[in-house]
Amino acid sequence: MLPLPVLEKAQTELVNYADSGMSVMELSHRSGLFTDIITGAEQLLRDLMNIPDNYKVLFVQGGASQQFAMVPLNLLSNSKKADYVNTGSWSKKAIKEAKKYGEVRVIASSEDKNFSYIPEVTSSMIDPEADYVHITTNNTIEGTAFQNIPDTGGVPLVADMSSNILSEEIDVSKFGLIYAGAQKNIGPAGLTVVIIREDLIGHAPESCPTMLDYKTHSESGSLYNTPPTYGIYMAKLVFEWLKELGGLKEMEKINRKKAELLYGFLGQSAMFQSPVQEDSRSIMNIPFVSPSAELDAAFVKEAKEAGLETLKGHRSVGGMRASIYNAMPVEGVEALVEFMKHFEEKHAQ
């Protein structure tokens, strides 16, 4: 989902951007107009997230899945050991990929309880020799999220923030590297944002594909080859929308309000409940279940008929899931809760 004002602005400018007679899709990535777009997007993101000067912002391609390889390829430069926290499907994919390139240790996991909580991570669990520690801050499918960022001491913390970047204020300086596919809170699919502390750049081995070396993108200002220019333009529009809204402080308030609406209803419902432990709940992805698979199916079907789309849970966990990313207005969650109330009344015995 993208904010409507952003889509409307993109529509207005699509054929003729800034009176250039060209679409953004037609601009050369070396042109002055595109330089303004990419440097503007970077500056807006730096302002929104308060990114310290010793971090680079990179606009790359390939999604989180490509980062699963880029992180170990670039960061396993000393001990070749890394510590991972396993909190769900995406963590598992990251772990599997990293094992190709070094010694991976899972230091905490919530797999024992179907990933329904965030396990505790303390500094004593971390191998001080590890090249990095990896976490997934928000677990899209399981609906969990880290409430506090673990203290990893001198070991760089790497975070997959694909599904909660820009949803709340975070302290970037606690991380060595943050990556996020754009398609949840940033812009259209095909763009990946990497925020990386400068000292972690430049350690990839000779055998690392040039496009998978952070140094390639860092040294060229993300212009080593043609970047996903239109995605970067859309991201800039989203960053501007966030800034006008009041930044991440305000966005977080709205997101917490939306989440509380839904969790509040789930807490008193006789039919629906959250499968996620209370202290581990995401404000972006809220899974819920009814007492039976039949009712789940009826709910998804009737919701769709009522215009409430994509409420089906991921095929790996079943049930329902409301993804209430930044662009979802409070009214959207209110409509969902209203619909759930009616459904519960209608289907009550």
Q: Would you say 269 is a known binding-site residue?
A: no
Binding to a second copy, residues 240-299 (CB under 8 A): none
Is 160 annotated among the ligand-binding residues?
A: yes
How many angstroms separate the CA atoms of 299 and 269, rounded?
Answer: 15
61 binds a second copy, rule: CB under 8 A: yes
The one-letter amino acid code at 51 reads I
DSSP string, 165-206: TTSS---GGG-SEEEEETTTTTSSTT-EEEEEEGGGSS---T
Catalytic residue list contains 160? yes
* 140 annotated as ligand-binding: yes
- Which three-class secondary structure state does DSSP give residue 116? coil
Stretch that binds a second copy, among 23-31, 106-114, 170-178, 269-277 (CB under 8 A): 23-31
Question: 10 Å Cβ neighbour count for 82?
Answer: 28
65 is in an annotated binding site: yes
Residues 177-196 that bind a second copy (CB under 8 A): 181, 183, 187-191
90 marked as binding residue: yes
Q: Which CB sits closer to a second copy, 224 or 263?
A: 224
Helix (H, G, I), strand (E, B) or coil at 149: coil
Residue 119: CB minimum distance to a second copy, A: 25
- The active-site residue, picked from 56, 83, 131, 184, is 184
User: Minimum distance from CB of 270 to a second copy (Å)?
Assistant: 31
Stretch that binds a second copy, among 230-238, 281-289, 294-302, 341-349 (CB under 8 A): 230-238
- Extended strands (E) in the chain: 55-60, 81-86, 103-109, 132-136, 138-139, 144-145, 157-160, 177-181, 192-197, 285-288, 320-323
Residue selected from 211, 297, 308, 337 as contacting a second copy according to rule CB under 8 A = 211
How many Å is the Cα radius of gyration of the chain?
21
Phi-psi region of 246 (alpha: psi -120 to 50; beta: other; left: phi over 0): left
Binding of residue 65 to a second copy (CB under 8 A) = yes
Cα–Cα dist 309/223, whole Å: 37
Handedness of CA 174, 179, 184, 186 (dihedral sign): positive
Binding residue numbers for pyridoxal 5'-phosphate: 64-65, 90, 140, 160, 183, 225-226
List active site positions. Answer: 90, 160, 184
Residues that bind a second copy (CB under 8 A): 1-2, 4, 7-8, 10-11, 14-15, 21-23, 25-26, 28-29, 31, 61-66, 68-70, 73, 97, 100-101, 181, 183, 187-191, 206-207, 209-212, 224-231, 234, 307, 309-310
